[in-house]
Amino acid sequence: MPVTVFMPEGTPETKVLATRQYGARVIIAGKNFDEAYAAAKREQLATGAAFVHPFEDLAIIEGQATVAMEMLQQCPDLDTIVVPAGGGGLLAGTAIAAKLMRPEIRVIGVQARAASSIASIFHGTNNTAVPFLPTMAEGIKVKEPGKLTTKIIQAYVDDVITVSEQEIASAILFMLEREKMLVEGAGAAAVAAMLFRHLPFDSARTGVIVSGGNFDIARLEECRKTATDIGTASSY
């Protein structure tokens, strides 16, 4: 089936190339997710194509809920699941599945401090200026989270916290050095929350969702320099 995928400027080239290799047409539009989304909606209206939203869609949320279901099937004694959040689809799906299977489990969302719209809404501070700055966690850089996902998150998620660019960079290096896994900034955000002890309570059995590996190797030096402010992974 012909597919056109809209991505914003600054999307890792690895993600663009992989999507094209799967057979999709990729259009780079806008400086961020929200501008790319607007361009995609204009294309949909002009062509009449079916529109698949990345997070504001119940079917997408249900699909992402299967991650938590598999985690709890493999590790039924988890007491906390930590989830990166941008538009909120993965976090909303995780919360629904986890709370239905284990009502007592705690679900924590993590955002980049540079783009913390969900955290601001969750904590009732969205009446103040919310930062929307460059971040290496481009996969979760969303200015306007979904209305549906926000309702689910407010109902089922226990907390939403933020991490800095230095912490995200350090988490990327940590995963590369210790786990031999190249993780993109969005996935590393959840790892950073653990490494730098940002969880609001103690947890004996914690599951962390590492949501992607679309990271340009050329940016590793930039990542290392960013992490230098608080020490590299070897200091943990």
Residue range 20-30, pLDDT digits in tens: 999 999 999 99
Residue showing tokens 């996902």? 149
Amino acid identity at 172 = I
CA distance 96 to 27: 33
Q: Is the pLDDT of residue 131 over 90?
A: no
Q: Is the pLDDT of residue 42 over 90?
A: yes
CA distance 171 to 178: 10
Q: Is the pLDDT of residue 19 over 60?
A: yes
What's the pLDDT score for residue 140? Answer: 94
**Could you tell me the pLDDT band of residue 185, with boundaries at 50, 70 and 90?**
very high
In sequence order, what are the beta bridge partners of 25?
4
What's the pLDDT score for residue 129? Answer: 66
CA distance 175 to 1: 36
**Could you tell me the pLDDT band of residue 235, with boundaries at 50, 70 and 90?**
very low
Query: For all residues of the chain together, what is the average pLDDT?
Result: 92
Residue percentage of the chain with pLDDT more than 70? 95
What's the pLDDT score for residue 44? Answer: 96
In sequence order, what are the beta bridge partners of 186?
none
What is the mean pLDDT of the segment spanning 115-131? 84
Residue percentage of the chain with pLDDT more than 90? 82
Largest interatomic CA distance in the chain: 54
Q: Is the pLDDT of residue 80 over 70?
A: yes
Helices (H), 139-227: 147-156, 165-178, 185-195, 220-227
CA distance 174 to 152: 32
Classify residue 204 as exposed, middle or buried by CB count within 10 Å of its CB (0-12, 13-18, 19+). Answer: exposed
pTM of the entire structure?
A: 0.90
Q: If we measure between CA atoms, which residue out of 221, 230, 217, 232 comes closest to residue 17?
A: 217
Tokens of 188: 């590393």
Residue showing tokens 């489990």? 105
